[in-house]
Amino acid sequence: MIEVILVPFLEAAVRTATPLAFAALGELVAERAGVINLGLEGAIIAGCLGALVASGVGGPVAGFAGGMAAGIALTAVFAFFVVDLRTDQIIAGTAVSMLGLGLTGAIYRGLYGTGGAGLSISTIAPLAIPGLSAIPLIGPALFRQTVPTYALYALVPCLAWWLRSTHAGLALRATGENEEAAEAAGAAPRRIRWGALLVAGAMGGLCGATLVLAQVGTFSEGMSAGRGFIAIAIVVMGRWSAFGTALAALVFGAAFALQYLFQSLGWSLPYQLFIALPYVLTLALLALLRGRATAPAGLGRS
């Protein structure tokens, strides 16, 4: 009995957490290099539209590539402002997000008419891993997902290792802690920040692409729905580590998925409560984690 309710909930939690985790891991890379990337929301929505358009031309693989390219392109604007012009990161990020939301809305309407009911594509199917997906309760949740989720399983340990144990990862972290010291030690902070932001853009785009190609199957204006900003909170909650960030993303995925659980339990609460829940959770957790988190020392300095 309990499985009938819990299995769909856990599946939905992992499914919803996947795009959030991509965005948050990208943000993690940017923040470890000392940049708060508030333009992430723009990269996500650009990724959504890029994926939809590209998949119409060349199928799902082209779709993911298109999403990442769109995310990179938009984040490059942000990188130019904060790395080369050294403008305020928060304001530049907000503007880039607005730019992404506005441009995608305008392009979508331009391409598919003002009605909004544009084209929809068939989403990629989940791939059950034989054996593992048969594990009771958590099997279907973890191993009956789409390809992006499995990519994430590989990405998280790789990123953790890269940050901790490679020379490049060390240079990245040094840049985030103290730019001058990193430069004195022979690193190139400007190049590192550019690189980190392009990775963050690609991951934001991947978040958008996953949303469209694996979950929603179409584009709507503003469909990123604040995921970029939630991802920033997820990084804080994950205490700037790759595994912590992935885990925090899962918590948020569960918060989003709670509405399915309550529906299946037959509880009738205003649905707006569930819409607000992840945002309330963000606030509560940020307040609770005060002081315990260890942010990169140079974060946000422009």
Partner 1 sequence: MDALVALWDGAFGSSYAFWSATLVRATPLVLVGLAVALAFRAGVLNIGAEGQLIAGAIAATALAQWLGAMPRIVTVTAMALGGMMAGAAWAGIAATLRRRYGVLEVISSLMLNFIALALLSWVVRGPLQEPTGIYPQSSTIAASARWPFLLQGQRLHLGFALGLLLATVSRFWLARTASGFRVRVVGAGARAAASAGGVDVARTTFAVFLVSGACAGLAGASEVGGVTWALYEGISPGYGYTAIAVALLARLDPRWVVVSAVFFGALEAGAAAMQRDAGVPAVIAQVFVALTILGVLAGAHVRDRVRARRIVARPEAA
Give contact residues for partner 1 (rule: CB under 8 A): 38, 77, 81, 85-88, 90-92, 94-96, 98-99, 101-103, 105-106, 109-110, 114, 221, 225-226, 229-230, 232-233, 236, 270, 272-273, 275-276, 279-280, 282-283, 286-288, 290-291
Residue number, 11 or 179, with CB nearest to partner 1: 179
Q: How far is the CB of 161 from partner 1 (least distance, A)?
A: 29
Residue number, 243 or 271, with CB nearest to partner 1: 271
Phi, psi at 100, each rounded to 5°: -65, -45
Residue 188 DSSP class = -
Residue number, 93 or 148, with CB nearest to partner 1: 93
Q: How far is the CB of 266 from partner 1 (least distance, A)?
A: 20
Query: For 103, how many CA atoms within 13 A lie in the half-sphere containing its CB?
Result: 20
Q: How far is the CB of 249 from partner 1 (least distance, A)?
A: 16
Cα torsion angle, 213, 214, 217, 220, sign? negative
Residue number, 86 or 191, with CB nearest to partner 1: 86
Please report which residue ranges of 80-166 form alpha helices under DSSP H: 89-112, 138-143, 147-165
Residues 6 or more apart whose Cβ sits within 8 Å of residue 45:
100, 101, 104, 208, 222, 223, 224
Residue number, 106 or 181, with CB nearest to partner 1: 106
Cα torsion angle, 170, 176, 181, 184, sign? positive
What is the chain's alpha carbon radius of gyration, rounded to the nearest angstrom?
A: 19
**Count of residues in the chain:** 302
Q: How far is the CB of 19 from partner 1 (least distance, A)?
A: 17
Q: How far is the CB of 184 from partner 1 (least distance, A)?
A: 22
Q: How far is the CB of 90 from partner 1 (least distance, A)?
A: 5
Residue number, 106 or 158, with CB nearest to partner 1: 106
